[in-house]
Structures are given as structure tokens and as C-alpha cells.
Amino acid sequence: MAIIDIIGGGLAGCEAAWQLCRRTGHCVRLREMRPLRKTPAHKTGNLAELVCSNSLHSENITTASGILKRELLELDSLIISSAMSCRVRAGSSLSVDRALFSETVESRLKTIPRIEILRSPVDSISDISFPAILATGPLFEGPLFQEIMSKVGEEKLYFYDAVSPTVSAESIDMDKAFWGNRYDESGQDYLNLPLTAEQYQFFREALVKAETWPLKDFERSIFFESCLPVEEIARRGEETLCFGPLRPVGLTRDRRIKAVIQLRLEDGLASAFNLVGFQTNLLINEQKRVFRMIPGLEKAEFLRFGKMHRNTYLNSPLLLNRFLEFKDIPGLFLAGQLTGVEGYCESAATGLCSALFLASRLAGCELPMLPDETMLGSLLRFLRTPQKRFMPMNSSFGLLPPLPGRIRDKKQRKLAFAERSENCMPEFIRSLNQMLRQIRD
């Protein structure tokens, strides 16, 4: 069996290594530059470190994210199964203890003798054994990046992503908070901090006037609409926060409450909370000042401050073929957020797919394409469909082909999408297993 290089030990790279070794018997060198070379966003040198939120989003099958998780589990996903073993309370959301999650992923990979984990940067294509998978993540830069971009002839594109702050549990004034899940009065997974109209106005005014970090080397300001800084949302109108991350709908019927800030557990010990939807680019002193205006956070101890970092992605429809392989660099497959997907599960999904595409190439056979009716198949179709302006995309019902008949009820329509996806998977999995047997034989 071939030895395959995977460049990058994030979610996509770890998933690809798992799939190649567990499913095909290939040997893998998983090459991670951290901790020898750091990034602006990572805190550790651990594999599969979650840089932003600790949430992998909803598991509910009536959500696009829930459908994608189910499909990935059916395909023996390392990332999803590990996340489920490290979960913290978060209602229908799959949220994890981020340190335990990273530790779990790395320890499971280390149980496979055919995986060698190398802690060293890769600065040239000549240092890579082909075929290989590039899963360097959205902070990709340096000599290897420049060499690849010179070969594919495309300029890199940017969008900004942001990290939410985390506060210690013991520093929160629990007398001003209440537990509850949205639309679930018995829920005890989120800690909620309510604001009256006066408190909300006072907080919003301070937020929009607060000083932010200068963007320095960032050429242009492009925000990813699904991950806007909270201060940017506030600037777009007096009520935008109330219809966004601070919406009170489904949490309280008290008409005196104008907005609600939700806090999500960061770890299994309930020692820290993440401010949901509060990704920010405020200066550290401004974060202390403004966020302590929130009732209940007057004495907040910040364990991690929010910050902005650059995310890079490539124009995949122009640069890649339908197997996630560079058109101009045969044998180099792409995975992770660099492909133009957004989200932890979506990144892991591209790692899974690139691994299977590469394995089928080595076996001299063609992997059957995932049906467009599946969430995973719809993401792959998105990555191969040329667009006027290619922007990162989460899993979404909007990516799926329309249902044959019109279903007026929104929940029933989503269930129909989920059922159609479930019905499509068995035939694909049978074809996949047949191909994998051929590879192992």
C-alpha cells in the first residue's frame, strides 16, 4: 500500500487520515507544523484544535447540519463520533469540551500503527510524497502556499472570521441569569442573561462606539455573513441584534425583556461559558468594558478574549476537478475550509471525501459520486459549480435539489429532505464498500 502525505492536522486532515487507514489500509504521514510554527488563531499544538466556537451546531434532523452529521456517521466519521463522546450540555446542539475533543481525536489516531504523526512544517511541493491531501486550514500561508498559488494561477481570496470570548462560570452573577433552551421551557443547557429595553440601548450604543483592532495587513474587509462580529451586526441597525444573536424569541414571554444573551458551556466541568454569537474584533480593554455592561457579567473574568483572524479559501470550481484534486497539480487533493466550505462538520466532510477520492484513484477505479439529494453530495456539487462570486458555504437546505411536490409546512418539508437523504445513502454505501473491498484485496 502507498504512503500518503496529509498536510495539516486539523479536522479535515485528521478525518482524511482516519478514512485512509481505517477504510483502505493505506499508510499515512500526517504532517502538522504546530507547535513548531504557530498561527494567529491557534492556542496549542494539538491536532483537531477547535479555534472558534466549541459547537458543531444542531443534531436535529430537521436542520441541514443534523442531516450532514447523520450522513458522516454512516460513513464512519472520526470527527463526529469523537465529538459525540466529548459533548457538553447544549440542547440540540452538538457542543464539546474542546480540550477533551482534541485529545480524543489525537489518541484515536495514535492507536492506528499505519498513521505517523510528524510535527514539522512543509515549505515546498518537492517535500510532499504524491498523491497527497492538502488540509492546511484557512490560515494557510508561507512558501508552500506561494508555490501552489503560482502553479494554479489564482489570487488568494479572503474573508474574516472571528472568535467569541469565554468567561469563567464563577464570575457570573447567577441571580441575574436563568437557564433555558430556546422553545423548550424545561431545558437547562444554556445560561441566559436578559436585558430590558433601556439596558439593551445602553449596551448597543457602547458596542458600536467601542474601538476595534486595526486590520493591518488585511487587504480588504470582507465579512462572512454567517459569522459577523457582534459590533458589525449592531452597526447595521438599532434592532439587528434583537433579531440576531440577542433575540429573546422562544426564551421568555416577559414583555419587559428586549434582548437575551445566551451563554454556552465550554467544558464538561461547567467551569467556563462562551458568549454565543459574540465573535468580535474589539480591543481587549474594550471587551472588558463593554461586555461587563451586560447584567450578570459586571465582574466577568475573561478566560479567552474574542478576536478576528484571516481565513483564506480558494476558488474551487475553477481550481479543482470534481474529485477535489487540483487541475494544475495532479495528485494533490484539497480538503477543509480552503475548499470553500464553512463549518467544522463541513470541513471534516471534505477530508472524508478527499480521502475516498484519493483511494479510488490509487485503486484505478472511480468512486461513485454522492447523490445530490444528500447534504454531503450537495456540498460537493457546490464546490464544482462555477459562480460569479464564489463565497464560503455551510451545509444548507438551499443547496439541495427541490422536492418533487410542494410541502407548505416548513417542518414537514425539512423532514422530507431528511428522509430523501436517508433513502439515498444505502445505495451509495453499498457501492463504496464494494470499491473499498477491491482496494483492500
pLDDT digits (tens, 9 = 90+) for 11-21: 999 999 999 99
Distance CA(412)–CA(425), nearest Å, equals 20
- Higher pLDDT among residues 168 and 391, named by residue: 168
Distance CA(43)–CA(62), nearest Å, equals 34
User: What pLDDT, on the 0 to 100 scale, is given for residue 133?
Assistant: 98
Among residues 47, 50, 30, 53, the alpha carbon closest in space to that of 103 is found at: 47
Segment 55-62 shows an average pLDDT of 93
**Is residue 258 within 8 Å of residue 305, measured between CB atoms?**
no
3-156+314-440 under CATH 3.40.190.80, yes or no: no
* The pLDDT of residue 92 is above 60: yes
Q: Please tell me the number of Cα atoms within 13 Å of 179 on its side-chain side.
A: 8
Q: Which of 113-117, 129-133, 182-186, 224-228 has the lowest mean pLDDT?
A: 224-228
User: What pLDDT, on the 0 to 100 scale, is given for residue 226?
Assistant: 64
Q: Do domains 3-156+314-440 and 164-309 have the same CATH topology?
A: no
Q: What percent of the chain has pLDDT over 70?
A: 95
| Domain boundary assignment for the chain | 3-156+314-440, 164-309
User: What pLDDT, on the 0 to 100 scale, is given for residue 218?
Assistant: 42
CATH class of the region 164-309: mainly beta
DSSP string of 142-175?
A: SHHHHHHHHHHT---EEEEEEE--EEEGGGS-GG
pLDDT digits (tens, 9 = 90+) for 390-418: 888 889 998 999 998 888 898 999 999 99
Distance CA(137)–CA(42), nearest Å, equals 11
Segment 351-361 shows an average pLDDT of 94
